Amino acid sequence: MIKERLQKIARNQNHAIEGVLFDWDGTLIDSYHADTAAYLAMFGVMGIPWGIRELEKHYSPNWYQVYRAAKLPKKHWDEADRLWRAFYAKHRPKLIAGARGVLARLGKSHKLGLVTSGDRDRVLRQLREFRLTGHFAARVCSGDTVHKKPHPQPLRLALRQMELHPSACVYVGDAPQDVEMARRAGVRVIGVLGPFPTEKRLRASKPELLIDSIEELPDALKRLRLQHRETRALENYGLAGGG
């Protein structure tokens, strides 16, 4: 009886999710093969004795962390960036299955944003090629802020551009850095399993929800909203966390 009453109260409260913000690589676009091939080719030119095993072990959306792990001197980073872009340009990644439909569906009732560590020129070009630019009210890429993921600055910039409060938003990403960035910005986060080698660390980061594919996102948002409402109802009755 008490539970039913609390659920009724929760349903009568409005805790809408107004904004949904996304990571790009591995979340909406399957760029794993292109990304990996570009890294391995660049490593070969730079004389770095790394293969796929080392790359997967040290992979991060912040490629400078990869450079540091590979002990690449900072004076060579610009050249490594140039080589990576040149090798990446030989590939044409595709959207993750179901991504276009999910964006179209959610865009009818939410503001959408993009917060990525990807290079701005490359990401904006891909958005144009996939005809997705207009879906996003904010598009924050590498170089738009001083700090990169997992620092909250990129996500906070997107929230300001969208004029949304952190508590009214959800961030969706495939890496532990996405989870940390969202939490530091005060935004709820949903993890999605993607093609990049981040599953173990993503699970360990404990996002609010973890989904197997982007196609599950609309239902996940409903579950997240219901959980939030029931928690608020319990808090109003002084029962949350109590015996």
Residues 129 and 201 in one domain: yes
Please indicate, yes or no, whether residues 191 and 146 belong to a single structural domain of this protein: yes
Helix axes 217-236, 99-106, angle to 10 degrees: 40
Alpha-carbon Rg for the chain, nearest whole angstrom, is: 20
CATH number at residue 113: 3.40.50.1000
In a domain, 195, yes or no: yes
Q: What is the pLDDT of residue 150?
A: 94
| Residue 243: inside a domain | no
Residues 226 and 145 in one domain: yes
Residues 62 and 120 in one domain: no
The confidence band for 227, taking pLDDT boundaries of 50, 70 and 90, is confident
First to last CA, the chain: 17
User: Distance of alpha carbon 52 from its chain centroid, rounded?
Assistant: 23
- Final residue in a domain of this structure, among 88, 117, 135: 88
In which band, very low, low, confident or very high, does the pLDDT at 231 lie, cut at 50, 70 and 90?
low
User: Please, what is the average pLDDT of the chain?
Assistant: 90
- Residue 74, pLDDT above cutoff 60: yes
Q: Are residue 42 and residue 18 in the same domain, yes or no?
A: no
Q: Please compute the mean of the pLDDT values over residues 138-158 and round it to a whole number.
A: 96
Same domain, 59 and 127: no
List, for residues 22-40, the tens digit of each pLDDT value: 999 999 999 999 999 999 9
Both 110 and 218 in one domain: the answer is: yes
**Do 79 and 179 have their domain in common?**
no
In sequence order, the 6+-apart residues with CB closer than 8 A to the CB of 23 are: 61, 115, 116, 171, 172, 173, 174, 175, 178
Please state the pTM of the whole predicted model: 0.86
Q: Residue 11: what residue type?
A: R
Range of the domain at 8: 2-30+94-236
Task: Give the number of domains in the chain.
Answer: 2
Task: Please indicate, yes or no, if residue 128 is contained in any of the structural domains.
Answer: yes
Tell me if 46 is assigned to some domain.
Answer: yes
Same domain flag for 82 and 146: no
Last residue within a domain, chosen from 88, 117, 134: 88
Claim to verify: residue 126 and residue 162 sit in the same structural domain: yes
Q: What is the 3-state secondary structure (H, E, C) of the chain?
A: CHHHHHHHHHHHCCCCCCEEEECCECCCEECHHHHHHHHHHHHHHHCCCCCHHHHHHHCCCCHHHHHHHCCCCHHHHHHHHHHHHHHHCCCCCEECCCHHHHHHHHCCCCEEEEEEEEEHHHHHHHHHHCCCHHHCCEEEEECCCCCCCCCCHHHHHHHHHHCCCHHHEEEEECCHHHHHHHHHHCCEEEEECCCCCCHHHHHHHCCCEEECCHHHHHHHHHHHHHHHHHHHHHHHCCCCCCC
Predicted confidence (pLDDT) per residue in 103-141, tens digit:
999 999 999 999 999 999 999 999 999 999 999 999 999
